[in-house]
Amino acid sequence: MFKKIFGAVVALGILALAIFLLIAWESSINPISPPGPDAFSKEQIKRGEVLAGLGNCETCHTTDPAKPLAGGRAMPTPFGTLYSTNITPDPDKGIGQWSEEAFSRAMREGVSRSGSHLFPAFPYTHFTKLSDDDISDLYAYVMSRQAIAAEPPENTLEFPYNIRLLLAGWKLLFFDEGRFEPDADKGDVWNRGAYIAEGAGHCSACHTPRNALGAEDSGKAWEGAIINNWYAPALNANNRTPAGWTEKEAYEYLRHGGSPFHGVAVGSMSDVVHDGLKYAPDSDLRALAVWLSDLAQAPGEQQAHDSSATAIRTAQQLQNPSTMMGEGERLFAHACAACHYNEPNNPNTLRPDMALNSAISAPTPVNLIRVTLNGVSLKEGIPEAMMPGFGQALSDRQIASLLAYLRSTHTDLPAWTDLEQQVRNQRP
Ligand code: HEC
Ligand code: HEC
Ligand code: HEC
């Protein structure tokens, strides 16, 4: 009896394994000679450049700016470090031998030309939504770049996470292959925005939290998440900034890197705006803004304006007469207020108002700490504007009391905990 059950279990196990291998197995696609840049029209390459910008291909696939797309960028994961690959048309080290079919399969199914499964750090879970034309244009762009014979470092993923075949199981659980489906209840412009956001732009890759296996948690879509040690705020109605993301503000922010009713794009979002979205036509950014303001359930322009004026005024009224100032308030008055003071009805992008800024209303202080320690470079935020860092001038305790002061007077949200320790953790 026992033997029979045991036999049945083993047989079932073998059957399950066989089915899994059948699903997991992907064939190799024949190599081709690199098509060369003349195989594509200038217009097609130009369209591909816009898509490559929206998809941030260069941000992830470049380490040395002199070697664009040659790969090697380290992507730390909880399971070890993964390196982006060389996607220049070099026939040996890059993807020069990839046909458009092989490229399309990688972008939409996460399978390399050789047939091995690719890690979802490469956002094919989003690129799968791209249309046939857009995949062709991207292929034209990538294949017409300069070939560079560079080899990225070996991945250092721990066993069993280094077994690519197991990714087939991950895909079964978390990956929906398939093109973008427009929402018939929304207009064309909204749908264009959604297509860019969900597809090439892969916005939720950073703005949605991930589960223990590294997949976006669909139950918490757009709730905000930590990525590359920055906090990417919620983009849905849980976004806590007083003004909300109206169409006008969202467009300003995505086009220019800052909005008077919020603040500026720093860290990873600065890369998205300044390295990626800069190639996109205005019509695409307006479409993204229409989609975003709907997702955020933004108020009308007038109400956004009024709410932000009220927020600035309230924070100003909470400031004490000078003799009563505590340490945090004194530091703010001396170190920050000269540049961060606004007339309530007319905030200025170049003086981001602390009462409106998502760094102050975020559930984690990481962005505020990093900006205070390191400042904002000329390249980030509004280009040509910068903010000095205060890491040398202020101690951990001083920064902690300054930020606690900002949180308590400029928002009605609960205080952050362990601030001093968190500041220390962000020091180089
Ligand atoms: C968030 C970072 C990130 C972005 C953005 C990104 N990639 Fe990648 N990509 C990766 C990583 C990491 C790998 C390696 C995955 C692996 O080894 O399994 C990869 C692999 C690939 C591959 C497979 C190459 C091979 O040798 O197997 C292709 C093709 C590719 N990316 C193209 C693109 C294109 C085109 C874009 C822009 C539209 C893009 N990637 C954007 C991180 C990224
Ligand atoms: C590589 C990660 C990453 C990607 C991809 C990304 N974002 Fe962000 N985003 C961030 C981070 C980090 C911040 C916080 C930056 C700051 O506070 O200055 C942010 C901030 C924002 C903000 C400001 C929110 C606020 O309340 O201040 C908006 C709006 C935004 N992103 C929209 C988008 C859209 C639209 C896309 C897709 C086209 C996108 N993001 C893609 C990381 C990302
Ligand atoms: C010399 C002027 C100056 C001083 C002093 C200054 N800032 Fe700034 N700050 C700026 C400018 C300008 C920007 C926008 C930079 C850009 O867009 O490139 C900025 C941006 C910011 C942001 C916005 C980040 C975002 O994601 O939107 C925060 C938060 C901030 N500063 C906090 C502080 C704090 C805290 C202090 C005091 C310790 C301070 N600043 C002192 C000029 C200053």
User: What pLDDT shows up at residue 69?
Assistant: 98
With contact defined as beta carbons under 8 Å apart, do 271 and 380 qualify?
no
Average confidence (pLDDT) over 82-109: 98
Residue nearest atom 2 of ligand 2, based on CA coordinates: 206
Task: Give the three-state DSSP class for 326.
Answer: coil
118 lines ligand 1 (CB under 6 A): yes
Return the minimum-mean-pLDDT range out of 75-79, 320-324, 417-421. 320-324
> Residue 320: pLDDT above 80?
no
| Architecture of the domain made up of 31-167 | Orthogonal Bundle (1.10)
Comparing 1 with 297, which gets the higher pLDDT? 297
Q: CA 219, 222, 225: angle at the middle one, nearest 5?
A: 95
User: What pLDDT shows up at residue 323?
Assistant: 63
User: What pLDDT shows up at residue 3?
Assistant: 74
User: What pLDDT shows up at residue 4?
Assistant: 76
Average confidence (pLDDT) over 380-403: 96
> CA-CA distance, 103 to 143, in Å (whole number)?
10
At 411, the pLDDT band (50, 70, 90 cuts) reads very high
Q: Which two tokens stand for residue 95?
A: 């993807």
C-alpha 71: how far from chain center: 18
At 394, the pLDDT band (50, 70, 90 cuts) reads very high
User: What pLDDT shows up at residue 45?
Assistant: 98
Tell me the pLDDT of the chain averaged across its residues. Answer: 94
User: What pLDDT shows up at residue 2?
Assistant: 66
At 360, the pLDDT band (50, 70, 90 cuts) reads very high
Query: From residue 26, how far is each of 1, 8, 165, 245 by CA, in Å?
Result: 40, 29, 10, 44
User: What pLDDT shows up at residue 198?
Assistant: 98
End-to-end CA distance of the chain: 65
Question: Among residues of the chain, what percentage have pLDDT more than 70?
Answer: 98
Residue type, 186: K
pLDDT tens-digit readout, 211-239: 999 999 999 999 999 999 999 999 999 99
At 127, the pLDDT band (50, 70, 90 cuts) reads very high
Q: In this structure, which ligand is nearest to the CA of 373? A: 3
CA dihedral 167, 168, 169, 175 (to 10 degrees): 90
Q: What is this structure's pTM?
A: 0.95
> CA-CA distance, 34 to 247, in Å (whole number)?
43
> Residue 131: pLDDT above 90?
yes
Average confidence (pLDDT) over 135-163: 96
- CA of 274 from ligand 3 middle (Å) equals 18
The residues, ordered by sequence, that sit 6+ positions from 225 with a Cβ below 8 Å of its Cβ are: 206, 207, 208, 209, 210, 231, 232
The residues of the chain that CATH labels 1.10.760 are 31-167
User: What pLDDT shows up at residue 12?
Assistant: 79
pLDDT tens-digit readout, 283-307: 999 999 999 999 999 999 999 999 9
204 lines ligand 1 (CB under 6 A): no
Q: In this structure, which ligand is nearest to the CA of 72? A: 1
At 321, the pLDDT band (50, 70, 90 cuts) reads low
> Residue 203: pLDDT above 80?
yes
52 lines ligand 1 (CB under 6 A): yes
369 lines ligand 3 (CB under 6 A): no
> CA-CA distance, 200 to 41, in Å (whole number)?
21
DSSP letters of 116-165? Answer: PBPPTTS-HHHHTT--HHHHHHHHHHHHTSPP----PPPP-PPTTTT-GG
| Ligand 1 atom with minimal separation from the 155 CA | 17
Average confidence (pLDDT) over 193-220: 96
Comparing 145 with 2, which gets the higher pLDDT? 145
> Residue 1: pLDDT above 70?
no
